Structure 1
Amino acid sequence: MILIADGGSTKADWIAIDKNKEEAFRVRTLGLNPAIVPEEELHNRIINMFQLINIKDDVEEIHFYGAGCGTPKPIEILKNILESIFVNAKVFISEDMLAAVYAATGKEPALVCILGTGSNSCYYDGEKMEMLVPSLGYILMDEASGNYFGKKLIVDYYYKRMPSAIAKKFNEEFDLDADYIKKNLYRESNPNMYLASFAKFMFDFKEDKYIKKLIKKGFQEFFKCRVLPYNKTAETPIYFIGSIAYYFKDILEKMAKKNNLVITDVIQRPIDKLLEFHKNNIN
């Protein structure tokens, strides 16, 4: 049995395939970002999923692609946890950017971008990824991500920069008590996921002038920081992965055009295409 996982900060999609390369089952756990989630909680989020535990002794390989897995320490933490549970498995851990590459372009050169709970980008030359700037996560970077827009919405609400009609609806949908917000940001796990939960508000009001301006500004910041520095032409394929890119695809395409780029495809969830890639490359 082989497990393939695409692990974001909000959720992790798992697919099990048998020796005949047939899908056995798929499940979803809470996010497994080892740079943010405490070790004990990471362990619990896995063992509490009975479908995974039922086959733990039968798993021979795990290919885990995850947010927060771009540096050695978080990789080591997650690898140790997985090896302690799936005792017979060889564990391979890579960052979620590589999953995005495999899902989007396989082995062909392209610019690949993630716009989900977090954000990132790379240029893939067909063999290796080039990342001009390492991601420092949701506090300092993650332009145009779910948590980026969540922060903008909360700040605009508190500074009364949000139009009154939108502010009223925002207040009706969320608990905006200052102590409650601070508790979730500074005392609970997954503050990035908490911030990203506010971004869903934009989906229902994306035609509103204020929301549209907010999205455009965020996307332009992403292009400025995470795409244009690669100095690629409009002929370079460019793929976007993630829910923010998917639900605001029309605005994203317009902003790409403004920057003399053409988006090749937008993929909401990479797990199915990632599965296809692995099936085609398993010996």
Structure 2
Amino acid sequence: MILIADGGSTKVDWACIDLNKNEVFRTQTQGLNPNLVSANELQLRIKSSKKLNNHTKYIQQLYFYGAGCGTETPKVDLTKVLSAIFEKATITVHEDILGAVYASAGKQEAIVSILGTGSNSCYFDGLKTEYLAPSLGYSIMDEASGNYFGKKLLRDFFYKKMPQDISKKFSLNFNLNPDEIKLNLYKKENPNMYLATFAKFLIENKNEKYVKKLVNKRLTKFFNLHIIPFNKSDTIPLYFIGSIAYFFQDILHKIALKNNMTIKNIIQRPIDGLINYHKENI
């Protein structure tokens, strides 16, 4: 059997297919970003799935596309964890952006971006990916991602930059005790995932003027930093992956139009596209 994983920082979608291209099962676990989660915790999260545990000895190939797997050290760390669990499998670990490419553009030329808990982008020529810069994670990059918006919302709230009615609504939705916030940011694992939980407030209030202005400004910045500098033809299609992109696609389309670019598709969760890609390439 072949196991495929779309590994975000918040959650991982797993799908298993057999050599006859039949889907065997799907499951979901907590996020497995090796930059933010210890090896022991990574193992516990994988083993929390009964479906994965019941099929470990049948998996011959495992393709994992994960957040935090863009550099060698975390990629090696995660491969060791996966190899200890799926002992009979050949393990292949790639950065999540490559999974986004396969799930959307397949083997066609495109610029593909992720806007979920984290963010990233690449140009794909049909064979290989090109990056503007290595992703350095949630603390200094990840523009317009869920965790980026979470930081912005918290800053606006505590610096009193939110409109009063929005501020009141925000305080009713979350525990904003400073000690609680600092505990989650500096003591617990997955601070990026914690920050991204605040982004749901934007989605729930997407028609508010404050939210529209905030999101438009940050998505415009994402274009200016992560898409336009590729300096490619405006006929090359754009693809976006992730919940931030999905729920704010009207703003993304407007920004693309201003830049004479075309968004071909916006996908909330790429696992279906990854399954189809691997079925075609068995």
Using structure 1 for the length normalisation, give the TM-score. Answer: 0.98
The residue identity in structure 1 corresponding to 2:34 is: P
Aligned to 2:253: 253
Q: Does 1:239 align with 2:239?
A: yes
- Any idea what SS the aligned residue of 1:24 has? strand
Residue 255 (structure 1) shift: 1.4
Instruction: Give the share of equivalent positions with the same residue, in percent.
Output: 57
Aligned to 1:94: 94
The residue identity in structure 1 corresponding to 2:255 is: M
Aligned to 1:33: 33
In structure 2, stretches of 5+ residues that fail to align are: none
- Within 5 Å, which residues of 2 pair with 1:11-50? 11-50=11-50
Larger mean CA deviation between 42-51 and 251-260 belongs to 251-260
Runs of 4+ in 1 over 4 A off after TM superposition: none
Residue 260 (structure 1) shift: 2.3
Paired with 1:29 and 1:262, the residues of 2 have a C-alpha distance of 34
- Any idea what SS the aligned residue of 2:58 has? coil
Paired with 1:233 and 1:251, the residues of 2 have a C-alpha distance of 22
Residue-by-residue CA offset, 1:195-243 (whole Å, 9 max, x unaligned): 0000000112111111100000110110111011001232111100000
Residue-by-residue CA offset, 1:69-125 (whole Å, 9 max, x unaligned): 001110111100011011111100000010000011110100000000000000000
Q: What is the aligned residue count? A: 282
Paired with 2:7 and 2:183, the residues of 1 have a C-alpha distance of 25
Residue-by-residue CA offset, 1:216-275 (whole Å, 9 max, x unaligned): 011011011101100123211110000000000001111111222221110111100110
Using structure 2 for the length normalisation, give the TM-score. Answer: 0.99
- Any idea what SS the aligned residue of 1:279 has? helix
Larger mean CA deviation between 40-49 and 255-264 belongs to 255-264
Residue 132 (structure 1) shift: 1.3
- Within 5 Å, which residues of 2 pair with 1:131-280? 131-280=131-280
- Any idea what SS the aligned residue of 2:113 has? strand
Residue-by-residue CA offset, 1:116-166 (whole Å, 9 max, x unaligned): 000000000010000011111100000100001000000000000001100
Paired with 1:19 and 1:239, the residues of 2 have a C-alpha distance of 29
Q: Does 1:56 align with 2:52?
A: no
- Within 5 Å, which residues of 2 pair with 1:55-94? 55-94=55-94
Paired with 2:71 and 2:124, the residues of 1 have a C-alpha distance of 19
- Within 5 Å, which residues of 2 pair with 1:99-138? 99-138=99-138
How much is the aligned-residue C-alpha RMSD, in angstroms?
0.7
Paired with 2:258 and 2:105, the residues of 1 have a C-alpha distance of 24
Paired with 1:100 and 1:134, the residues of 2 have a C-alpha distance of 16
Larger mean CA deviation between 116-125 and 12-21 belongs to 12-21
Paired with 1:204 and 1:271, the residues of 2 have a C-alpha distance of 25
The residue identity in structure 2 corresponding to 1:265 is: N
Paired with 1:187 and 1:193, the residues of 2 have a C-alpha distance of 13
Residue 31 (structure 1) shift: 0.4
Residue 30 (structure 1) shift: 0.4
In structure 1, stretches of 5+ residues that fail to align are: none
- Any idea what SS the aligned residue of 2:185 has? helix
- Any idea what SS the aligned residue of 2:33 has? coil
- Any idea what SS the aligned residue of 1:94 has? strand
- Any idea what SS the aligned residue of 1:101 has? helix
